[in-house]
Each structure stands twice: as structure tokens, then as C-alpha cells.
Copies of this chain bind each other. A is one copy, B any other.
């Protein structure tokens, strides 16, 4: 035996584009990521009866467990550097999974934590990260109930990688998802976008630039709960992390088979974030967020939903609507009266941002 596989029993529909090996873009949340999931993971993992849940490709899977609907989700966090303005990989790992549950309409119940530590990782830094995780969990009102730690040789990790999985209980009667989205639905964001990605880039080796921009990382289960309590008819929600608002809207346009039209000037981007994006050559719509939610809501309830979101963050805004035209395509009205297609990037603008 060697460590090379016997390929005889392998039935996957490869190749994926022209790649024969993993490239950074496979982790970026763009088209390459999507191809990996659809052409490699779904055929591998999905037995005929298993694949329907996985194929929803939502932020969390929703399962039936003895009469309850449970949401179940996982994410790994490999952000580089580990510490950045306003947070570190620890609170990111807690908030990210809490938010995936929240936008699925679930109240987070419990988290697991899987740590992959690199030999030589300073214990004091690890302690700060785990303390931050504990604080973030308490702030979100969720328990860390189980965990695992592995250590890999120096040169085979990056200090610490964190996986969090989470389970939550979905509100009875609530149905969210691409199947609920209708032309006419209004699209809202819960606050200014693009700060998280810019905050991380501002301290990345070789790219440091002076900035007061801090991550937007925060738990969303509170504001999402109040939004659902308000009675506003929400059709779906998603937190625009990797690939930013653009990737989120493109995924929803494709999976709901609808067109999406946004007004570029309506998307809240703070001046300093916009300036940093210009400096770095980035489109703010493509930069990751970790504490924002994109909400699709029936037109009649858009103002009600906006009121709820604005009580949390005054910059919350209605940024567009769902249209019957150009299904699968996201279009932005630009400042000069024209329109442009908001495309999903092939890979990503910013690797290892979460």
C-alpha cells in the first residue's frame, strides 16, 4: 500500500474546468466553489434519498427530528491573520455559525467546536481566542456543548483553524427559502456592508494600511428574531459572507429562478470602507460581511421590516427588488442612470477572509 489512491472505483464527473488540483478560488464562495460542490461533493455524498436536503444548499440544512424541525450547519474558519480590528477568528467562528442558523429561521441551541492547532501555536494567543469564543457564545445566548482538538506538525497548519457546527430549532410554521421568493419581493440589508473584509485586509501581511475600519462580526439571531416577531412576511434571508452581497444575490437569483434588480446607490457603504475598496481595487458588493443579513420580504411589509432593522442599525436599507425579467441574473442601476450586471466572480477577490 502507498498513500496514492486506487482510482478504479471512482465515478465522479471530473474534471472541474481545467483544474487537476485545488486552487485558492475553490474556497472563495465564487463559481469555482459552486462547481466543487455541485460536481464533486453532491454526487459523492448524496445517495438518492439523501441529496434533497443537501441540494437546498442553504446556510443550514433543515431536518425533521421527532416532530421538531432542526437546523444544522457547519463552517470552518481559516481567516488570516487570526486577529484583526474588532475581533479575531474566535468570535468570527461563533457568530458565523449562529448567523447561519438565524437566517434559516432557527433559534440557535448549541454549538460544537473543532480546533486544529499547529504545533508551536502560543498558548496565550489560543487562550485569548477561546475566551473570545466563550464571550461571543454567551452574547448570542448559545451554548458550546461539545468539542475536539487535534494538533498537526509545524508547517501543516496556521496556528489555529476552527470548525463550528450548530444546531437550532426552526420556528414552527415558518417556511423560508428560494421557493418562497416571488417577483415583487423587496430586498433589504441590515446595515452597512463590506467592513469585515476590509478590516481583515487592513492588517494582512504585506498589505497593511492605516484604517479605523473594524469588522462587522456580530450575532444576528436577536435582530432576526425581532424581524420574524414583527409579522413581516419574510420569504428568505441569508448572511452575505464570502463573495459578499453580490454572491448572495446571485445564488438566490439562480436558485429561486428570478431576476434581481438593485439600486447601487441604495446599498449602504460607509465612506471609509468605500475609500479603502477603491484603494484596493475591490467592489464593495463583493466584500465579505459577518454581521449583516440580506432579507427578502413581501413588498407590503418592506417598510415594517425596514423599521425593525433600523432599530438595530440606522443604516439598514431597502436596496432592490425581485423582478420577473432576466431570471438568474442580478442587475444594478448605476449612479449615472445605466445598468450593469452584478456577476459572481470566478474565484474570489479576497482569500481567507473568514
Q: Are B112 and A114 in contact (CB under 8 A)?
A: no
**Residues in B neighbouring A82, C-beta threshold 8 A:** 3
| A153 close to B (CB within 8 Å) | yes
How many residues of A are in contact with the other chain, CB < 8 A?
108
CA of A67 to CA of B68, assembled, Å: 9
**Cβ-closest chain B residue relative to A132:** B44
CB < 8 Å: which of B5, B146, B150, B152 contacts A125?
B5
Q: Are B68 and A22 in contact (CB under 8 A)?
A: no
CA of A118 to CA of B47, assembled, Å: 27
Q: Are B167 and A72 in contact (CB under 8 A)?
A: yes
| A289 close to B (CB within 8 Å) | no
| A282 close to B (CB within 8 Å) | no
Q: Are A5 and B124 in contact (CB under 8 A)?
A: yes
Interface 0/1 of A123-134, CB less than 8 Å to B: 111111111011
CB < 8 Å: which of B137, B138, B161, B202 contacts A116?
B161
**Residues in B neighbouring A37, C-beta threshold 8 A:** 147, 149
**Cβ-closest chain B residue relative to A25:** B151
| A155 close to B (CB within 8 Å) | yes
Interface 0/1 of A99-139, CB less than 8 Å to B: 00000000001101111111111111111111101100110
Q: Are B83 and A114 in contact (CB under 8 A)?
A: no
Q: Are A123 and B22 in contact (CB under 8 A)?
A: yes
Q: Are A133 and B203 in contact (CB under 8 A)?
A: no
| A36 close to B (CB within 8 Å) | yes
CB < 8 Å: which of B14, B36, B148 contacts A149?
B36
**Residues in B neighbouring A157, C-beta threshold 8 A:** 156-157
Q: Are A114 and B1 in contact (CB under 8 A)?
A: no
Q: Are B12 and A127 in contact (CB under 8 A)?
A: yes
**Residues in B neighbouring A68, C-beta threshold 8 A:** 65-68
Interface of A, helix, strand, loop or mixed by DSSP: mixed
Interface 0/1 of A38-60, CB less than 8 Å to B: 00110011110110011000001
| A85 close to B (CB within 8 Å) | yes
Q: Are B151 and A28 in contact (CB under 8 A)?
A: yes
CA of A141 to CA of B21, assembled, Å: 31
| A143 close to B (CB within 8 Å) | yes
**Residues in B neighbouring A149, C-beta threshold 8 A:** 26-27, 33, 36-37, 41
Contact A27 to B150, CB < 8 A, known contacts A72-B145, A137-B45 = yes
| A235 close to B (CB within 8 Å) | no
Contact A74 to B10, CB < 8 A, known contacts A3-B82, A163-B163 = no
Q: Are A112 and B27 in contact (CB under 8 A)?
A: no
Q: Are B352 and A22 in contact (CB under 8 A)?
A: no
**Residues in B neighbouring A119, C-beta threshold 8 A:** 21-24
Q: Are B23 and A134 in contact (CB under 8 A)?
A: no
| A70 close to B (CB within 8 Å) | yes
Interface 0/1 of A265-302, CB less than 8 Å to B: 00000000000000000000000000000000000000
| A341 close to B (CB within 8 Å) | no
Not counting A3-B84, A47-B143, A151-B351, a sample of 8 additional A-B residue pairs whose C-beta atoms are within 8 angstroms of each other reads A1-B203, A41-B130, A45-B113, A46-B144, A47-B134, A73-B146, A74-B113, A152-B161
